Every structure is written in structure tokens, then in C-alpha cells.
Amino acid sequence: MKYAYVYVLDTMADWELGWVTAQLNSGQYFKTAGSRLPVRTVGISKDPITTMGGMTILPDLTVDEMSVDTSAVLLLPGANTWQDAKHLPILEKAKELLDTGSLVAAICGATTALADRGMLDNRPHTSNGPGYLEWSCPAYQGSAHYQDEKIVTDGNLITTGSAGGLLLAREVIAKLDVFREETLEAWYDYFSTGDARHFHALMATMQVQS
């Protein structure tokens, strides 16, 4: 069984991963009917955390209990507490996943955590804007590889800024190949525009599947 692992930490920006976790966990638009990619929350411990929006999350497992072999994707949210040294274990796990070809997606503040550990020094990436990583990460040496784009996918690493939640979902879903191409296109077009034409197109792709 493969899982979508979500690292949870105090002050996490709870809205940033909502698009992708809802689609992976529910499987409602998956090309294989009845399938899904269960979401499991990972914490530094199993103590509850409080999100930026005031919600309490009880982690399903600790970093030590997370298996690289069962990871379909590791999702790293933004938060105001990434600078705390207690989060080093998940960053070490992220590096292990990247080194073994597994998918890692980081948004907003999580990109600063990767930058601080040197994981963005030698590969294309983005964040909250030019200069942001230099300002927030004294150890960052990757400015030559920074791309001023809304989202950057480099092999098995996806990075985006705080406004990139929907884009991140699209890229993760595409990399995992769980939607049909036309389903993903219609899904993204609908939620990025609100145009009902795209909703009907989305529903039509599901009728073709059934």
C-alpha cells in the first residue's frame, strides 16, 4: 500500500494542501474506479499540533514510523515554525526520498526548510519570490537555480510559493498519474476559473470512464 504522507507541524498553513489531499484521499476523479491514495499525517511525535487556522491535528504516525517504501508522495506545507531544529528528521527523510527517486512537494515555508538543508542548491526550484530564500535562509546557495515561476517541477521535486496550492495539486496528480489527462485538465480549469463549462467537461470525462 502506498500513501500520501503529509508532515504536520504547529502553525502549518492548513489551506495550502487542501486541494491535493482531498483529491488523493477521496479518489473521486481517479482514472481507476474505486481506487484512492490514502493520506497519512506525519508528526515529529504523536502529540497534537495546531494549524494556523486553529484546527487541531493528531498525527497518524511519527517520522520514524514512516516508510520510504510506502511513500507515493511527501507533502510539506508552509508554517512559521520550520526553523525549529526538531523538524530535522523529516528533512532528512525528504532528502532520502529525493535521493531514491520518490516524489516530494514543498510549498511556501517548506521551501525555506529545504533551502536551509542545501536541497535546493543544485536544482531548479521556486518559492515566494526572488530574494525570499536569500532573506530567510542564510545557508542558501541555490540562487543560480531559482526560477521566478509560480511552480517548478524538477524530476521528483515540486516547489511553489504560498499562492500555489492549486498548481501544486495539479503537478502532484500529474506526476502520480492517477487522473486521466483530460480529467486533470478539466478539473484544473474549473477550479482555477469557476467556469461551469469546465465542470461539465469534468463530469463528462468521468462518464467516459464509467
The catalytic residues are: 108
Phi and psi, residue 137, nearest 5°? -130, 95
Return all residues near 53 (Cβ < 8 A) that are at least 6 apart: 14, 15
Rg (CA), the chain: 17
The three three-digit cell numbers of residue 78, written as one number: 508552509
Map residue 12 onto helix, strand or coil.
Answer: coil
- DSSP code at position 136: H
Bridge-based pairing of strands 49-50 and 56-57 is antiparallel
Return all residues near 153 (Cβ < 8 A) that are at least 6 apart: 171, 175
